[in-house]
Structure 1
Amino acid sequence: MSANGTPDPPALGCLITDLRTSHGWSQSRLATELGQVAGHDTVNREQVSRWENGKRTPAAFWLRHLATVLQVPIEILERARVDRRNFLTAAAGTAIAPMVASDLIEEGFAAALGVKHPSVEDWEEAVETYGRDYMTQGAAEIQKRLSADLVVLQQQLDAPCMWATAAKLATLYAKTFPGSDGAKAVTWYRHAATFADRSGDETTRVWVRGRAAIALGYEGAALGVADTLASQALEMDDKPSLGRVNAVMGRAHVRALRGDHQGARSLIDEGRRAFDQAGSDDAESDYAIPWWRFNVFASLLAARMGDEQLADDVQTEAARNLPESLPRFKTHLEMHRGLMLTRVGDRDGGTAHARAALEELPPEKHSLTLRMLMEEIEAA
């Protein structure tokens, strides 16, 4: 239920609304686009409104055409049909290998029976631990551990602070799926935003949306969703914060990938101003944004725009401050240099440089983001 006691719109309806607004379309415009793709005008603004409000569910025919005009794989719309209340249970059965399903079920029942009941402090410590571990460990290991903890946490969502914890962990969980699959990652980012809203904590609400925006923008995936989440974060609170830094830089990546380089450069400047007021210390955590990490965000932006001078400046700054304990991010910078080489015409040299950097990093330290970056470089 929402804060005023009215039912929450279903996940599918909210997703259609988010995707529509990311295109800057009215409900009437979406109806027109659907009619053109379908070859006949059998949908109108009122029908789109009913879909978004959950009064009607699009038939399979219209679901396919919605996926086409909203530029997302149909899987993302199909998954959004799942009742929000059942998503954690579904995660136990679909997001992880069957061999660990038994352990998850046991964890869930143990928590329900009170056999295991972590305190608020325990969960706060878990959030900090996951934030540190994400910087060095592979996605598969993080995903397995988080699946178990989310099943336990599901039993304790009886206070706003616990919803805030769930929001932070769900955001990290989303990052263990590639944003390019158009389904799991975006679904979990949306769940995280819903949890943050339930917490009532404005800082968490902004941070979750900003973190999702920079994650998707950095990966170059689901750009419409990234832009929508960034917009929501920026509209919620205009005070400098880590969430705002993430949102601005996420939107900058969306602009760069859509060819609006002037807009992207303006957003880099805006992000820098927000960082100057809200940047983290040098904590090695996914929940922090130290100076070196801000420059990693800007490094990929510069490479995507083909701006050699900016790339050289921010890569130098990032490398100067990057902790030796985080070799994966050194690989990021080297792959950005490879992308830059492809942008200035040396496609073979740039691809070889990026591939060599990736191969130098031990496979167990590879991330989904690095693999997606390699694909972007090869396609450049």
Structure 2
Amino acid sequence: MIEREVSLRRLSGIVHFDAGYLSKIRSGFRTPSADLARKLDEALEADGALVALAPKTRGSIGRTSNVERARPYPGVPHEEDDDMERRRLLQALAALGITVSPAMEALQQIHGSVDRALGRTEENHLDEWEETVAEYGYSYMLLPPQRLMRDLAVDLVAVQQITARGGDERLSASWSRVTSGLSLLMAKTLCNMGEPRMARDWWASAQLAADASGDAELSLRVSSERLIRDIYEDRSPSVILQKANVALERGPRTPSRGLASLHSVRAQVLALDGRAPEAASDLQTIEEIAQRLPASATDVRSTDKWSEDRLHYTAAWVHAYAGDRGPLDKSVADAGAVLPANDPRTRAQLALLRASGHVRAGDVTEGVRLAHTVYEAQPAEHRTTLVSSLARKVTDAVPAQHRRNPGVTAYVELVASGSPGSSA
């Protein structure tokens, strides 16, 4: 444009594309279609140079979608559409109590200009976002669900805005992984808050993005995470087992975190269904997979990875439902030895599993006393669906002849109320 002394407005008139959209292409925020690249090449007499730079995956020259034909200029989104989408996202954040002031928006615009001046690309941002997803895997167990949900909402809006700009298509698979990771965390967080219906759409988005990324291991992991939540939400064990088997049949057999997680689903469901020998077989399979994974894949510092504590957790679940006190206590101790000291929920879940196992082994008084102590001490904001589900499973394990014991009735009232100290 500088060499040909063509202004943006004049170029817009020549190629019949919106000047605002052309400005975004010039600034690197949009990627032109092959058709637009051809028109720009002709208008600027670039001798094929601009056509050669256009991504080949955007579609063939001259082909126009129904959506594009509905716009004033083929292939060009309305600037108003972008603004409307932005306003909707800001309104959605405001409904969650998250406000973005004009000053903050201005700073973001200035920061974007500085980035472009420094030659900072979407690829640089991608590295940071992948780190962010990994950090969320750790903070997921530490932050109250309500707080985490708000943080995730802000970051999901930011990622949506980045991907909507249509940057380098070679990075689309990577951005799909980031979107899947954040959507997965949002789904799990909403489940923790007791909102399974709201979580349903996020599970679907996480699975869709995982599949779009081409990462088979991630697809397995999303499937297994959803099935694990189905266990805690008391879905039919036979249905969960069937879905796990289908996922195993369709997925790769290469040892991975996703494969280990699916076998964990099987082990837990089989134990829940009273099929202890089969559950033990899957537990053995998990141990074999874990031994073949690299150390980086079993790092306990991130719940995004198949970590050692999750292996012990699954073992504790299997032994709890079998009523095997010795192996159960050892698995709980082994998990506690590798868990972060400040994890407020996993330790409570393990203690509740231990309590239910002791009840099944015949020690009702001690099992219920332990469960009461653990649940009463759990901060209200960390009494998630998983924690409360395990607390209820302790009472489910109590034999009928012990249901009227004072200690049992006090514990039942505590769990039903969900309020610390309500049974005092």
Q: Do both share a fold (TM > 0.5)? A: yes
Tell me if structure 2 keeps the 8 A contact 1:160–1:199.
Answer: yes
1:290 counterpart = 2:311: no
Report the alpha carbon displacement of residue 135 of structure 1 after superposing the two structures with TM.
2.3
For residues 287-329 of structure 1, the C-alpha deviation after alignment (integer angstroms, 9 at most, x for no partner) is 1233233101221232123233431332232233333233432
For residues 208-251 of structure 1, the C-alpha deviation after alignment (integer angstroms, 9 at most, x for no partner) is 22333334435655653575256325531100011111111012
Tell me if structure 2 keeps the 8 A contact 1:242–1:289.
Answer: yes
The 3 A distance-change label for structure 1 pair 282 and 259 is: same
Tell me if structure 1 keeps the 8 A contact 2:324–2:361.
Answer: no
SS at match of 2:97: helix
In structure 1, give the amino acid aligned to 2:149. Q
Note the 1:1-16 alignment, pairs <5 A.
none
Note the 1:1-380 alignment, pairs <5 A.
98-100=95-97, 103=100, 119-157=125-163, 158=166, 159-178=172-191, 182-217=196-231, 220-221=234-235, 223=237, 224=239, 227-228=242-243, 231-233=246-248, 235-278=250-293, 280-380=297-397
Structure with greater Cα Rg: 2
Tell me if structure 2 keeps the 8 A contact 1:120–1:162.
Answer: yes
Superposed CA RMSD: 3.6
Report the alpha carbon displacement of residue 189 of structure 1 after superposing the two structures with TM.
2.0
For residues 314-345 of structure 1, the C-alpha deviation after alignment (integer angstroms, 9 at most, x for no partner) is 22322333332334322222111111122234
Report the alpha carbon displacement of residue 200 of structure 1 after superposing the two structures with TM.
1.4
SS at match of 2:190: coil
The 3 A distance-change label for structure 1 pair 323 and 129 is: closer
Report the alpha carbon displacement of residue 170 of structure 1 after superposing the two structures with TM.
1.1
Report the alpha carbon displacement of residue 102 of structure 1 after superposing the two structures with TM.
5.2
Report the alpha carbon displacement of residue 283 of structure 1 after superposing the two structures with TM.
3.6
Distance in structure 2 (CA, Å) of the matches to 1:271 and 1:355: 32
Q: Taking structure 1 as the reference length, what is the TM-score of the superposition?
A: 0.65
Distance in structure 1 (CA, Å) of the matches to 2:393 and 2:385: 12
Structure 2, unaligned runs of 5 or more: 1-84, 114-121, 167-171, 398-424
Report the alpha carbon displacement of residue 120 of structure 1 after superposing the two structures with TM.
0.8
SS at match of 1:256: helix
SS at match of 1:251: helix
Distance in structure 1 (CA, Å) of the matches to 2:90 and 2:387: 24
Of 156-165 and 325-334, the range deviating more from structure 2: 325-334
Report the alpha carbon displacement of residue 270 of structure 1 after superposing the two structures with TM.
1.1
In structure 2, give the amino acid aligned to 1:342. V
In structure 1, give the amino acid aligned to 2:390. L
Aligned residues: 291
User: Which fold has the larger relative contact order, with Cα–Cα distance below 8 Å and residues 6 or more apart in sequence?
Assistant: 1
Report the alpha carbon displacement of residue 114 of structure 1 after superposing the two structures with TM.
9.9
SS at match of 2:182: helix
